[in-house]
């Protein structure tokens, strides 16, 4: 579904992503792992059209994406739930969700998808008229994911969805990611909680200072000594 080929992305004269290549198959959960500054979020922002690559190619369902505007990327079927959630805090839950569907014209489908978000996250339905800024971190993360889902994406990119959340809330978010995969959504997951991410992932790529150092299935990476030492705190 998604192919990233020799991608280079820079901030000024500094290359944050240094020629990475990876792919995401339809229906998969694929995770990008790495410490802060490894280039994970930069990669997602490039796929979303928010950053222009220096070089390389991004292909989605056989069509080239790099160089097109961010709103066109959404229309092609890619949505991102960004790091930090980036909600409209003064707006209600329902209005935040409606903004996620801004490019759609099918009002009945939008209503159906909003109901699906409320099924996934019942607390959002119960508090749909309340301002997003009143919610806890976990509830805001639910809303950020729900907002991204409102564009009805084929590929959903999640940037650090468990950041700052309790272990119980992290489990809820990870369980929801699995449910979304069962619904047919392909997922590209950036996550510092390597244990949780690899337990979900069909495959993973480990980035260090803008380069992919190694990759494998989620199961194999969980048992990889390099991953265990660096990301899982194991001896």
Domain boundaries, the chain: 1-76+188-235
Residue found by looking up tokens 């995770």 in the block: 31
Give CA–CA dist 52/14, Å, rounded. Answer: 14
Helix (H, G, I), strand (E, B) or coil at 18: strand
pTM of the model as a whole: 0.90
Residue for token digits 């995401």?
Answer: 24
φ, ψ for residue 103 (rounded to 5)?
-90, 0
The CATH H-level superfamily of 1-76+188-235 is: P-loop containing nucleotide triphosphate hydrolases (3.40.50.300)
Distance between start and end Cα atoms, the chain: 37
Residue 101 has pLDDT above 90, yes or no: no
Per residue in 182-229, pLDDT tens? 999 999 999 888 889 999 999 999 999 999 999 999 999 998 888 888
C-alpha distances in Å from residue 186, one per residue of 25, 78, 147: 8, 10, 16
Count how many residues are written for the chain. 235
């Amino acid at each position: 579904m998604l192919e990233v080929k020799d991608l280079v992305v820079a901030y000024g004269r500094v290359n944050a992503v240094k020629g990475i290549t990876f792919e995401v198959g339809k229906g998969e959960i694929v995770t990008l792992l790495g410490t802060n500054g490894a280039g994970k979020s930069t990669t997602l922002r490039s796929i979303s059209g928010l950053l222009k690559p220096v070089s390389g190619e991004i292909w989605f369902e056989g069509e080239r994406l790099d160089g097109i505007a961010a709103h066109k990327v959404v229309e092609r079927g890619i949505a991102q739930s960004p790091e930090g959630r980036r909600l409209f805090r003064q707006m209600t839950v329902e209005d935040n969700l409606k903004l996620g569907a801004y490019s759609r014209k099918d009002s009945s489908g939008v209503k159906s998808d909003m109901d699906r978000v409320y099924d996934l996250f019942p607390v959002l339905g119960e508090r749909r008229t309340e301002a997003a800024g009143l919610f806890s971190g976990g509830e805001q993360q639910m809303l950020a994911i729900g907002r991204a889902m409102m564009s009805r994406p084929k590929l959903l990119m999640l940037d650090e969805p468990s950041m700052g959340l309790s272990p119980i809330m992290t489990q809820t978010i990870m369980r929801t990611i699995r449910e979304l995969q069962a619904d047919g959504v392909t997922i590209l997951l950036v996550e510092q909680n390597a244990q949780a991410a690899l337990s979900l992932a069909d495959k993973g790529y480990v980035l260090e200072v803008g380069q992919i150092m190694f990759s494998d299935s989620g199961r194999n990476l969980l048992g990889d000594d390099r991953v265990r030492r660096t990301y899982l705190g194991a001896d």
